[in-house]
Structure 1
Amino acid sequence: MSLDYDLVIIGNTPEAMYAASKAAKLKARVAWVVGDKQDDYYTEIDRYIFSYFTYLEQQWKTLTQGILNASLYPSYLNLSQIQTWTKQVKTNLNPQYSPETLAAMGVDVIFESGEFCRLPQQAFVLPSRKLRSRTYLVATGSVPTIPTIFGLSEVGYLTPETLTLETLSSDLIILAETPLGIELAQNLARIGKKISLLVPENQILPQEDPQIIQLLQAQLEADGIEIFTNSPITQVKQINDQKWVQAGNLAIEADDIILVMQQQPNIKDLNLEAVNVEITPQKIKVNQKLQTTNPQIYACGGVIGGYNVANIGQYEASIVVKNALFFPYFKVNYPHLPYAILTNPPVARIGLTQEQAKRRYGHNIIVVEDYFKTLPKAQILGETTGFFQVITRHNGEILGCHGLGREAEELIGAIALAMNHNLKIQNLAEVFPPSSSLFTILSQISHTWKTQKFEQNQFLTQGIETFLFWRRKWG
């Protein structure tokens, strides 16, 4: 029996749009099931714009009060205009992957919701028709997990998707289970909100390098955020007009509670169990080729857990398209993928941390770091907080890199490029960037690495010293 499509994509997410575009460019017959309602995701565009404007607000304060000594200059941060600008940016970016653009590329765009039908007639069933394809991609994203806390549903709460800046109260409790909660807490603090940040773990970003955690926590506290670690919420009450939260042995009051929780797959009513797709509460199970337990059905992005960020979702989508349209050969390689946390200053990481590298390679590693305070541009901008650290093997192979500092999310791209093309740390020493560039920090790290290697090679250093001595002697 002939099939209607090469690939049917389910989901209204950035990774779904990217997969549809990539498959269409390969001349595949593609159906994109958008759904019958618009998903209101708090996207990286929202995060980046909010972070950028609060950064500008902080720079304005530094300029007027610290440098110009003109404390009478007012702040001009308009929250309503931020949201208007965010909508405009999304509108400007939308045509690249809009339904109209993809339809013009030959993608069958369908504004209906449906479900998988049972084996052996595997298909995706819509109210109006049945879609039969050789392969399917589930890219429906994820939704917040709302914890079961006594009194929470009666008192009420906000999430990043539901809060409105103009009407947001001034005294807030944020329960942060993900890096997004750290970002949001800092941005709200910088527009004048009083923030109590509750973190269930014993530190704010337990997966990051201890030096990053220490520097970032100091910055958050300098921004006026009160941080409570090891503080999961156990009870919520409303007393008069205030909301009271019991977190461990602490009782904290605020006007509103914002939950930034771990995500769960957005797969309601897809009937995946009927087609033998295994699901856990946190994710759809996939192999390294991103196939589910039904090899004809793939999944990527937020539905498979991990960091729910656009670049990783699009990378996964590119792997799926190649495997789904041709042969399931390509595997994901996450260590070569960078990611960033959009705090001020931002955090960025790729590959192994120092501890992970030690466990895998023992003493066969070299760790080199440098600080933003050594850079001319950082001094000029007043952005001297931060560092970059590169972990390598003794032959120069880059195992990982992480850092905190201005434009860290841009700098990590250079390391990602080097790792993906098997360039070694010493290759970066061949680049002499303009002194006005923050890339100088990576060049300095590379030169430091070469100096360390040279000084450790006693045979070479003594040989050069002897050669130069006799050269001087002979005139």
Structure 2
Amino acid sequence: MQRIKTDICVIGGGSGGLSVAAGAVQMGAKVVMVEGGKMGGDCLNYGCVPSKALIASAKQAYAMSHGAKLGIAETDPNVDYAAAKDHVHDVIATIAPVDSVERFEGLGVKVIQAYGRFISDTELQAGDTIITARRFVVATGSGPLVPPIPGLDAVTYYTNENIFDLREQPKHLIIIGGGPIGIEMAQAHRRLGCNVTVIEGAKALGNDDPELAQIVLDTLREEGVNIIESTQADKVSSDGTTVTVHTAKGDFTGSHLLIAAGRKVNIDKLDLDAGNIAYDKRGLTVGDNLRSTTNKRVYAAGDVAGGLHFTHVAGYHAGVLIRSILFALPSKQRKDHIPWATYTDPELAQVGLTEAQARAKFGDKVEVVRFEFHHNDRAIAERKTKGLIKVMVLKGRPIGASIAGHQAGELIGIWSMAIANKLKMSAIANTVLPYPTITEVNKRAAGAYFTPRLFENPTVKRVVGLVQRWLP
């Protein structure tokens, strides 16, 4: 058995772990990384990257059959589903070297390709190596949650971990789960020529503003996606060639089944009890400093920190931990400025409080300003006018923004920046943007906040009248 001593042992080679390892080793710390699966984690191999690549193929197919309003003759796309998957894997392969073992060993990180488990509060075993570290960073991410539906174990089903390896085009894809993963895959597969049914136990896209989520769901239904809400999958059966999901609202039969019913954190292999590390089903029990409440040597980053499950959150956590672990500076995470996006067409994005959350917390003190995409000239030029932005404002500062529309995932960034830096609405309104751009949606929303204060204010009009009468 080999023994290693190090400053930092990072467990997990996904976004959070890679960011901690790269930052720490380049600043002079000794770093060991333990990864039993693929470098790059879920995002690169099974999540963000492959899903966006498949969505890009789907958008291209959709554009070919929907060009008449732009003066382009429409044609039915000849979809090669297997070739679209080749595109997906080429994208992964293009990005993979940045996250590779070779790159990180080149930086000076000792990479051990094995799953790790704690054997004491100061030691981790990975394969035939025992690592003793001053600090451990658990960044093992999450995987698909497969609910205990009767009959599911007797049928072939897919999750985000293997759907991108499927090369046979589904004739009818049944999706259990109407969250971001399920809805993104529903639209992508529909645009690639598959029939699609989504079965959701509650409300599809239920974590987003319902008014804006409805814009996206209405679009999917218009494109032919069958979305069944407020019904559970009671059981699943198969006749060998098809699979049927039985629900209280009827039976739904398709050629393939995708489970997109949520996520579960990857902590089962860690033997956290042996490391005196408190945890629950959400992940490690940590404070705002991301430090274990029971083992002060241990920190968490990303999904296992018990918060939002997004790649960019894991990267953000890495920055918090680097300040704390390397420089011994007080460093805590914030959550109010964390955005997220669902990459449907139109896109759906959120940062901070939704309208309902803001009103519940602050009541009538909150102002909600709105701007619709059909007033944006660039959106009109590109025929992308379906959309709405809502900004929740408290005492002149944005505390939340909800966007459904073209490039919503890009647009939300300015509101995340504003909330992170406690900027006022005037900072957005004063920004000069190139014309015509979709980004003007943000500026017009900020302008909508000032409109009643400037143009509907009698005092302002009296002052202007006095100035005009007495100005030399």
**TM-score category of the 2 structures, normalised to the smaller one:** over 0.9
Structure 2's unaligned 5+ residue stretches are none
Aligned equivalent of 2:447:
447
Contact 2:6 2:31 in 1 (8 A): yes
- Work out the CA distance in 1 between the residues paired with 2:180 and 2:272: 30
Q: Report SS of the residue matched to 1:48.
A: helix
Are the aligned partners of 1:263 and 1:282 in contact in 2 as well (CA < 8 Å)? no
- Cα distance change on mapping 1:16 and 1:68 into 2, 3 Å: same
Do the aligned partners of 2:204 and 2:229 also contact (CA within 8 Å) in 1? yes
SS of corresponding position for 2:389: strand
For the pair 1:105 / 2:107, whether they are aligned, the reply is yes
Correspondence for 2:48 among 38, 44, 48: 44
1:78-129 C-alpha deviation (Å, 9 max, x unpaired): 333332233332333233332222222221112233311124xx21123333
For the 8 Å contact 2:179–2:262, the answer to whether it is kept is: yes
Determine which of 57, 61, 64 is the counterpart of 1:57: 61
Contact 2:50 2:91 (8 Å CA) reproduced: no
1:332-358 CA distance string (max 9 Å, x none)? 111112111111111111111112222
The amino acid across from 1:266 in the alignment is N
Query: Does the 8 Å CA contact 1:265/1:304 hold for their aligned counterparts?
Result: no
1:7 equivalent to 2:22? Answer no
Higher mean alpha-carbon deviation, 150-159 vs 281-290, is at 281-290
Pick closer, same or farther for the CA change 1:242–1:4 going to 2, 3 Å.
Answer: closer
Instruction: Kindly report which structure 2 residues correspond to 1:263-274, keeping only aligned pairs within 5 A, or say none.
Output: 263-274=263-274
Q: Equivalences for 1:258-297 in 2 at 5 Å?
A: 258-293=258-293, 294-297=295-298
Cα distance between partner residues in 1 of 2:228 and 2:444: 37
The answer (yes or no) to whether the contact 2:13–2:38 under 8 Å persists in 1 is no
Is the 1:291–1:297 Cα contact (8 Å) retained in structure 2? Answer: yes
**Any conservation in 1 of the 2:179–2:206 contact (CA below 8 Å)?**
no
Alpha-carbon shift at residue 305 of structure 1 (Å) = 4.1
Once the two structures are superposed, what CA deviation does each residue of 1:3-41 show, in whole Å capped at 9, x if it has no partner?
922210011212211111111222211111122666664
* CA distance 1:36–1:401, shift in 2 (3 Å): closer
Amino acid at match of 1:93: I
1:127 equivalent in alignment to 2:130: no
SS in 1 for 2:281: coil
Instruction: Write the deviation string for residues 268-319 of structure 1: whole angstroms up to 9, x where unpaired.
Output: 3211111221222332222111112322111121223443221111111221
Alignment RMSD (CA, Å):
2.2
Contact 1:263–1:305 under 8 Å retained in 2: no
Q: Which residue of 1 aligns with 2:374?
A: 373
Specify the alignment match of 2:247 in structure 1: 247
Contact 2:34–2:126 (8 Å) recurs in 1: no
Q: Which amino acid in structure 1 is aligned with residue 283 of structure 2?
A: K
Q: Secondary structure at the match of 1:133?
A: strand
Cα offset, 1:177, TM superposition: 5.2
Once residues 69 and 103 of structure 1 are traced to their aligned partners in structure 2, the CA distance between those partners, rounded to angstroms, is 51
State the TM-score, normalized to the length of structure 2.
Answer: 0.92
Mapped to 2, the partners of 1:258 and 1:159 lie a distance apart of 6
Shift of 1:196: 1.1
Cα deviation per residue 1:128-156 (whole Å; 9 max; x = unaligned)? Answer: 33211111011111122211111111123
- The more displaced of 462-471 and 373-382 is 462-471
Q: Is the 8 A contact 1:51 1:344 kept in 2?
A: no
Where structure 1 has 5 or more consecutive residues not aligned to the other structure, the ranges are none
For residues 69 and 87 of structure 1, the distance between their equivalents in structure 2, rounded to whole angstroms, comes to 31
The within-5 A match list for 1:374-389 is 374-389=375-390
Q: Partner of 2:73 in structure 1?
A: 70
Q: Which amino acid aligns with 1:52?
A: A
Match status 1:21 vs 2:25: no
* Cα distance per residue 1:397-429 (max 9 Å; x no partner): 111111011111111112222222222111222
**What is the percentage of aligned positions where both structures have the same residue?**
25
Secondary structure of 1:4's match?
A: strand
The residue number in structure 1 matching 2:405 is 405
* Structure-1 separation of matches of 2:38 and 2:445: 50
C-alpha distance in 2 between matches for 1:30 and 1:257: 42
Q: Secondary structure at the residue paired with 2:341?
A: strand
CA contact (8 A) 2:79 2:193 kept: no
Task: Specify whether residues 458 and 70 from structure 1 end up closer, same or farther in structure 2 by C-alpha distance, changes over 3 A only.
Answer: closer
Call closer, same or farther: CA 1:457–1:296 in 2, change over 3 Å. Answer: farther
Distance 1:59 1:455, change over 3 A: same
Q: Is the 8 A contact 1:9 1:136 kept in 2?
A: yes
- After TM superposition, the structure 1 stretch with the greater mean CA deviation from structure 2, 324-333 or 348-357, is 324-333
Other-structure match for 1:233: 233
Aligned residues of 2:35 and 2:115 also touching (Cα < 8 A):
yes
